[in-house]
Chain A
């Protein structure tokens, strides 16, 4: 993972830029994409409730790392879509999945000493991408870069909103 703020900003950038072309993508739905970007890092639940504790309690094999896969992105996107009112199910499904996918996609390019990415496509495929990687999870520059782009996207969104508002109405006679 890059730091979580970078992932959330990437999802914000994608979803907000999409909202320029798709009117139905409101700021509420941009938030859904940001939440989707958090999903893969829920594997950090390992720090709160270790998988070994779950295994010993349930007598079943268990691993939180499944959160960081395409399979979990699909299942949780469907789950989140089922929790909203019917007219928002499809956009919530799409944007939550977009957020989770943006996280997995950016993690493919993270530096790994093995030269291979994680098997993020699991359980559909165990393929690992051979990528040298050009950032580490604790590097500062990805956050600076995404923060700059996100600021530019935010300003452009405000400019577009101001431009689309009707001008001052003529005073009543």
Chain B
């Protein structure tokens, strides 16, 4: 599964993760190219408060611009956007963000399902969704929608994930297009090219 595959065009990468996923992001970020031709959108479960902590942590490891997603903000290639704590992050048809403070999904806000589903609706088959380590049910329904729109499903290898439950669910219930170890993800993302 680890071989480098020439992939189809990519208009956005959305990464979802829960417990144990921060380590993976810290592994990926220093190795990312600085001129990626698509945006990266990150939804990580975390507690409200310490707002800019995750943003700073990632910004210190990459030359890409990392910022917390703001409502109505246009989504631009080469930028990394992080879902703010305690809001769901949605993507509009015109490729801008909306925030939503509705019910938690899978005990989570932001919910990975919400962003995956909304991204699938907009980016359709040129979307790559990556689901990392976690012990929550979040992400599976989102991945199902991504598959329906023919986007690509990428999961962290459950055998090497700190918390295998989340990616394992996708592996067992849907067919993932790529199963990658943490150390393979940066080069995978760097090799995705623009539509």
Partners in one complex: no
* Residues of A bordering B, CB below 8 Å: none
* Residues of B bordering A, CB below 8 Å: none
